[in-house]
Chain A
Amino acid sequence: MLKISDLHASVEEKSILNGVDLEINPGEVHAIMGPNGAGKSTLGYVLSGRDGYEVTGGDVKFEEQDLLDMEVEERASAGLFLAFQYPVEIPGVSNMEFMKESVNAIREQRGEEPLSAAEFLKKAKAACKQVQLPADFLKRGVNEGFSGGEKKRNEIMQMILLEPKLCILDESDSGLDIDALQVVADGVNSQRDGKRSFIVVTHYQRLLDYIKPDFVHILANGKIVKSGDASLAQQVEKEGYAFLGKAFEEAEA
């Protein structure tokens, strides 16, 4: 589904990704862990096509298409979804208007009829319920005045509505208490259907107790320095990143 080869990227001429290789097949959950400043969020931004994140080398194929050649909205229409670490507040645009526009834009790309207002409302209410957001959040400005946890749940609500093929969750656990974490994880797990793939970016192993990864990768200094199964995350939890030893030290250098 996604094949990242030797990806290099920089921000304001500072090199952040230094040769990332990663292949993700349908239905797989990959966790990406790593210390602060390793380039975890940058990877999500580069894959989604954010301005200011300049790809300086390598390529990315998403279902055989050249992902890096696509506009941000084309990537979304092709089935890529990024759940933001810090979702943006947009006063003046209601959550409902935002999601209806979004769902119908993506449906149009897929050659599907737009949803009627009533059909959309029904789906949106169900998605809200699933992440335990009261339905009146649909009427509020996008993320406007939402708490940290509500913002994260709103991201998962969007993911449920948009039915993407590949979801990148950028620290969806940060700032959440255990109950909120459970809600977010349940939302994500409900979307695991054997075909949809996930990249779960996280600083802590805690989230991975709830969303079981098939693979865990350690990103340090813009490179994947170690890959393994779920036990690698537990090792990180116990020993920190020092156990990586030489590989990590080199990456840190």
Chain B
Amino acid sequence: MSQWLEQVIGEAQQVNDYLAPVRQQALTQLKQDGWPGRRNEAWRFTPLTSVQKRDVSHSDDVPDYQVPAIDNLNAIELVFVDGKLVTDTSALDVPAGMTLTTLSDASDAQQQAIAGIYGQVKPRRHVFGLVNDAICQHGVFIDVEDDAVIDTPVRIVNLAASNADAHTRVVVRLGDRARACVIEQGTGTVDSFTTAFAEYDIGAQARLEHYRFAMFTGDAKQVGGCHFRLGESSRLNSTMVGYGSELSRLDVDIHHAGEHARAKMNAIYLLSEGELFDLHSTIEHAVPNGTTEENARGIVGDRARAVFNGRIHIHRDAQKTLAELNNRNLLLSRRALVNTKPELEIYADDVQCAHGATVAEIEEEALYYLLTRGISRSKALVMLNFGFIQELVTAMPNEALREWLLPLLSERFVSMEVK
């Protein structure tokens, strides 16, 4: 068992609200499953000792904080600091067709909608998701009406500003034929632990543009997830970016619940020093005619480690599924490590499915060629090795995010030492 988990369970038992049934289920399962050991496949490469022995900590006051600026994004911003929502949601200028509320302020009708998504889209698979189910009281619900087209992105920021345990939640319902853009961003360096889970229920023919920037570094530990239920003929376009920290883990689930849905997921990770980033994705094709395209690409330097586990599960009835999964890695040093594992489980016979994983090293000959032409080492490395990352950034639909992210990632790449 874990001292941290025991303390969390103790606290969660005090929480009593309209989500009690799902919270109870989570608690029961947590007690039953206990703390995952190293033999637990889901955590095989990701040590949890830093959390296991942790003392639960809450920050009383909201410390000074600064939300990283993204020029020209013009988003509706919701900010959590150390797990507390510091934005007054009632003061936000929300476009017609969308409503936005905290989980605790939800009306009866909203509570009903939330209860249909909270802990329902996310599989009850791992310990921190269950913890978040049981204990999270700081969350937001975004509801987009049928047919509403919302151009203004919603940006949700988790800031780790002091040594605290933070548990936040995002619940999104996208009505039939609705369109929206949601950006989840986490950042911080201080010793802290954040669990941030988001669940999206995407209606028929609806379109979601989604981003998750998991940019915790240093001692800021984070475990989180993005979980999507796709309705008939819906579209999901998601880009994830992972930095590494002492513990950084992201779980993604895309559940094709309606036919003819299309999901595109791109993930980028850039890791250096002793950082760890672990991306687990599971694509469930439960019905026929779904399409998934997943690309995860990363650069790992110094002593850092990337873990990628990409599972595609095509159920017996999911004929005519089209699924592609690709993971490309570049190692910058001899001590850098990637554990990559694409998993395909196919029970239907008429499907097109492809997967691949590659791990490459710096091509010394090409690097030398560029150097002999006077190009600096750092610039040459970017030219040779950043293209496959840049491609995924360029594919992001939002221009302001592209312009913000590209220099950020190329700077991070240049600062990663090649050894």
Report if A60 contacts B (CB, 8 A). Answer: no
Query: Measured between alpha carbons, how far is A196 from B370 in the docked complex, in Å?
Result: 22
Query: Measured between alpha carbons, how far is A87 from B369 in the docked complex, in Å?
Result: 8
Report if A51 contacts B (CB, 8 A). Answer: yes
Report if B18 contacts A (CB, 8 A). Answer: no
Report if A221 contacts B (CB, 8 A). Answer: no
Report if B419 contacts A (CB, 8 A). Answer: no
Instruction: Check if B372 sits within 8 Å of A101, measured CB to CB.
Output: no
A67 to chain B, nearest CB (A): 13
B380 to chain A, nearest CB (A): 8
B-contacting 9-mer, from A3-11, A29-37, A68-76:
A68-76
Query: Measured between alpha carbons, how far is A73 from B380 in the docked complex, in Å?
Result: 10
B side interface size, CB within 8 A: 19
Instruction: Check if A93 sits within 8 Å of B365, measured CB to CB.
Output: no
Residues in A with CB closer than 8 Å to B388 are: 92
Interface residues of B in 334-381 (CB under 8 A from A): 364-366, 368-377, 379-380
A149 to chain B, nearest CB (A): 19
Q: Which of B370, B374, B379 contacts A77 (CB 8 A)?
A: B374
Report if A82 contacts B (CB, 8 A). Answer: yes
Instruction: Tell me which of B364, B370, B373 has the highest count of chain A C-beta atoms within 10 A of its own C-beta.
Output: B373
Report if B116 contacts A (CB, 8 A). Answer: no
Residues in A with CB closer than 8 Å to B364 are: 51
Instruction: Check if B369 sits within 8 Å of A105, measured CB to CB.
Output: no
Residues in A with CB closer than 8 Å to B370 are: 90, 98, 102
Q: Size band of the A side of the interface?
A: 20 to 34
Report if B67 contacts A (CB, 8 A). Answer: no
Report if A166 contacts B (CB, 8 A). Answer: no
- Chain A contact residues: helix, strand, loop or mixed: helix
A145-175: CB near B (< 8 Å → 1, else 0) gives 0000000000000100010000000000000
Query: Measured between alpha carbons, how far is A78 from B286 in the docked complex, in Å?
Result: 63
Instruction: Tell me which of B372, B373, B374 has the highest count of chain A C-beta atoms within 10 A of its own C-beta.
Output: B374
Q: Which of A50, A76, A92 contacts B373 (CB 8 A)?
A: A76
Residues in B with CB closer than 8 Å to A109 are: 374
Instruction: Tell me which of B365, B370, B372, B379 has the highest count of chain A C-beta atoms within 10 A of its own C-beta.
Output: B372
Instruction: Check if A101 sits within 8 Å of B366, measured CB to CB.
Output: no
Q: Taking A72-B371, A84-B369, A88-B365 as contacts, is the C-beta distance between A101 and B387 under 8 angstroms?
A: no
Q: Which of A90, A97, A142, A162 contacts B374 (CB 8 A)?
A: A162
Instruction: Check if A71 sits within 8 Å of B371, measured CB to CB.
Output: yes
Query: Measured between alpha carbons, how far is A162 from B372 in the docked complex, in Å?
Result: 11
Instruction: Check if A82 sits within 8 Å of B372, measured CB to CB.
Output: yes
Q: Which of B365, B372, B379, B383 contacts A76 (CB 8 A)?
A: B372
Query: Measured between alpha carbons, how far is A82 from B370 in the docked complex, in Å?
Result: 11
Report if A197 contacts B (CB, 8 A). Answer: no
Report if A199 contacts B (CB, 8 A). Answer: no
Query: Measured between alpha carbons, how far is A162 from B377 in the docked complex, in Å?
Result: 18
Instruction: Check if A48 sits within 8 Å of B372, measured CB to CB.
Output: yes
Residues in A with CB closer than 8 Å to B384 are: 90, 92-93
Q: A-B pairs with CB below 8 Å: how many?
A: 66
Q: Which of B365, B366, B375, B387 contacts A73 (CB 8 A)?
A: B375
Q: Taking A73-B377, A88-B366, A105-B376 as contacts, is the C-beta distance between A97 and B383 under 8 angstroms?
A: yes
Report if A106 contacts B (CB, 8 A). Answer: yes
Instruction: Check if A90 sits within 8 Å of B376, measured CB to CB.
Output: no
Query: Measured between alpha carbons, how far is A75 from B374 in the docked complex, in Å?
Result: 8
Q: Taking A84-B369, A87-B369, A88-B369 as contacts, is the C-beta distance between A106 and B374 under 8 angstroms?
A: yes
Q: Which of A48, A51, A102 contacts B375 (CB 8 A)?
A: A102
B213 to chain A, nearest CB (A): 25
Query: Measured between alpha carbons, how far is A149 from B370 in the docked complex, in Å?
Result: 20
Q: Taking A93-B384, A97-B383, A101-B379 as contacts, is the C-beta distance between A76 and B374 under 8 angstroms?
A: yes
Query: Measured between alpha carbons, how far is A76 from B383 in the docked complex, in Å?
Result: 18
Residues in B with CB closer than 8 Å to A77 are: 374
Instruction: Check if A101 sits within 8 Å of B375, measured CB to CB.
Output: yes
A33-67: CB near B (< 8 Å → 1, else 0) gives 00000000000000011110000000000000000
Residues in A with CB closer than 8 Å to B380 are: 73
Instruction: Check if A73 sits within 8 Å of B383, measured CB to CB.
Output: no
B376 to chain A, nearest CB (A): 6
Instruction: Check if B387 sits within 8 Å of A50, measured CB to CB.
Output: no
Residues in B with CB closer than 8 Å to A75 are: 372
Residues in B with CB closer than 8 Å to A73 are: 371-372, 374-377, 380
Q: Which of A49, A87, A93, A162 contacts B383 (CB 8 A)?
A: A93
Q: Which of B366, B377, B379 contacts A90 (CB 8 A)?
A: B366
Residues in B with CB closer than 8 Å to A72 are: 368, 371-372
Which B residues are within 8 Å of any A CB, using their own CB? 364-366, 368-377, 379-380, 383-384, 387-388
Which A residues are within 8 Å of any B CB, using their own CB? 48-51, 71-73, 75-77, 81-82, 84, 87-88, 90, 92-93, 97-99, 101-102, 105-106, 109, 142, 158, 162
Q: A51-B368, A93-B387, A102-B373 are in contact. List 17 more A-B contacts (CB 8 A).
A: A72-B372, A73-B371, A73-B374, A73-B375, A73-B377, A73-B380, A88-B368, A88-B369, A90-B366, A90-B384, A92-B384, A92-B387, A92-B388, A93-B384, A101-B379, A105-B376, A109-B374
21 contacting pairs across A/B (C-beta < 8 A): A51-B368, A73-B371, A73-B372, A75-B372, A76-B373, A76-B374, A81-B372, A87-B369, A88-B365, A90-B384, A92-B388, A93-B383, A97-B383, A98-B370, A101-B379, A102-B373, A105-B373, A105-B374, A109-B374, A158-B373, A162-B373
Rank and list the top 3 A-B pairs by shortest CB-CB distance, nearest first.
Answer: A76-B374, A72-B371, A102-B373
